[in-house]
Every structure is written in C-alpha cells, then in structure tokens.
Chain A
C-alpha cells in the first residue's frame, strides 16, 4: 500500500534562513510522481514543486528545491531565504503515473518568524 509520512507536525524558521521539510513514502511502483503542495490560511492548495521518479536530477523552483532519494524513498523540501509569505501547511503527495489517486501526508505547519 502506498503511504506518505511527514514526521514533522510543525516547524519554525527565521526569516531569510533555510528550512528543510521531510517526507518519506512507501511504494512498490517504479514510475510515479512526488509533489509538495502549500496550503496557506486561505485554504487554496498551491503546487510548490513536482518530481518525476524517473528523473535523477532534483527539481528546483526558485527558492524551493527537493532532495529526492529514490532508494531511501525520501523526498524533502528545502526552502531558502524564507519569507513571511511561506508560512503555511505543507503537504507532501505521491501519485502513480496515471494519477488515478493522490496520497497525501499529514502535513507540516511552517511558521516563519520575522
């Protein structure tokens, strides 16, 4: 069964510093996608970054980057130069290639201190 685990319910970071959110997953599939979504208080789920499992290169999107370790089934999100607007719930998600289902982790609440 596919599961996604986020072991950090809440984290804090100082503005302008770097923070890493952890995510592990369990799957027997070889072809899949991993995602990080951000949910601010407005409730809108916003795609932060996506990683295809067949790609060895880690995805980056401006200040956001991932550390994808396929053998370890680990998919962490690094946020550099943290900004106040980064404060939100962050959900790690997994989907097999045909996207019939998404599996979400329990979320990590990120606080950004000025």
Chain B
C-alpha cells in the first residue's frame, strides 16, 4: 500500500484568503486525485492530477478556484482560492496504487474551516 501524507491536517482560514494543501506519497504514482468531503456528506472528486499534464477537473470545479500542481510523481498540491464558508470541508488526496494499480489509497485529509 501507499503511505500518503497531507499538510495541513487542520486549519481555520479567513474568508477571501487562499490555502494550499500538500500531498506527499512514499512511492511514485501516476494518478493522484483530489476529493472534497463536505460536513456529513460523501466524497466528491474535484480533479485528477497526472504528472506532466494539466489537471482534469470534474463538473462544478474550475482551475481558478482549485489550482493544482503536480511537479513530480510523488507530490501534488491543491489550492483553495478566495475561500468562503461554503469551502469548509475535508479535502482528501488519494493515489492509485497496489498490485496491478487497482486500489485507491487516501491521505488522512485536511480539515478546513472558513470563518
């Protein structure tokens, strides 16, 4: 399995500011994913980030609001821009890994509260 570290674990942010979440994996992976989990809700995919190419965003998510970087095969960042209280969520990084690449593993999540 892959070990995934996310920073920050938790933060309280002021409305209108931006915050960058970091995701570090202990092995090289091709596909990295960013999910949002709003309070009491299920997970929603924000975007897929492959190294060397632009991230692919899901419907309802745009690059200006959630810019993503993927500089190498072990690291990615997600920025939540111009935050509002509606952005208060857990943001999870996940990677495709395992034998045959057929399992998705998750980081511990970053819990953002926007005030």
Which residues of B16-31 are within 8 A (CB) of A?
31
CB distance from A112 to the nearest CB of B (A): 20
Instruction: Kindly supply a per-residue 1/0 record for chain B positions 2-27, scoring 1 wherever the CB is within 8 Å of any chain A CB and 0 otherwise.
Output: 00000000000000000000000000
Total chain B interface residues with beta-carbon distance under 8 A: 22
Contact of B96 with A by CB under 8 A: yes
> With A91-B42, A106-B42, A107-B42 in contact, do A99 and B106 touch (Cβ < 8 Å)?
no
Given contacts A43-B108, A44-B109, A102-B33, whether A50 and B45 have CB atoms under 8 Å apart is no
Q: How many A-B residue pairs have CB under 8 A?
A: 50
Q: Which residues of B contact A95 (CB under 8 A)?
A: 104
Q: What secondary structure prevails in chain B residues at the interface with A?
A: strand
Q: What residues of chain A lie closer than 8 Å to B41, measured between beta carbons?
A: 106
**B88 CB to nearest chain A CB (Å):** 14
- Assess whether B42 is in contact with A33, with CB atoms less than 8 Å apart: no
Chain A residue contacts of B108, Cβ below 8 A: 42-44
* A16 contacts B by Cβ under 8 Å: no
A49-75 CB contact bits vs B (8 Å, 1 = yes)?
010100000000000000000000000
Interface SS, A side? strand
Q: A50-B102, A99-B96, A99-B104 are in contact. Are A43 and B45 (CB under 8 A)?
A: no
Q: Is B101's CB within 8 Å of the partner chain A?
A: yes
Q: Which residues of A sit under 8 angstroms from B101, Cβ to Cβ? A: 99
> B1, B48, B90, B105: which contacts A43 (Cβ < 8 A)?
B90
A residues bordering B, Cβ < 8 Å? Answer: 33, 35, 37, 42-47, 50, 52, 91, 93, 95, 99-102, 104-107
For A102, what are the chain B residues with a Cβ–Cβ distance below 8 Å?
A: 33, 43, 45, 94, 104
Contact sample, A vs B, 17 pairs, CB 8 Å cutoff: A35-B104, A37-B106, A43-B111, A44-B108, A45-B109, A46-B106, A47-B1, A47-B103, A50-B103, A91-B43, A93-B104, A99-B101, A100-B31, A101-B48, A102-B33, A102-B45, A107-B42
- Say yes or no: A43-B102 contact (C-beta < 8 A), given A91-B42, A99-B31, A105-B42: no
> A50 — which chain B residues lie within 8 A by C-beta?
102-103
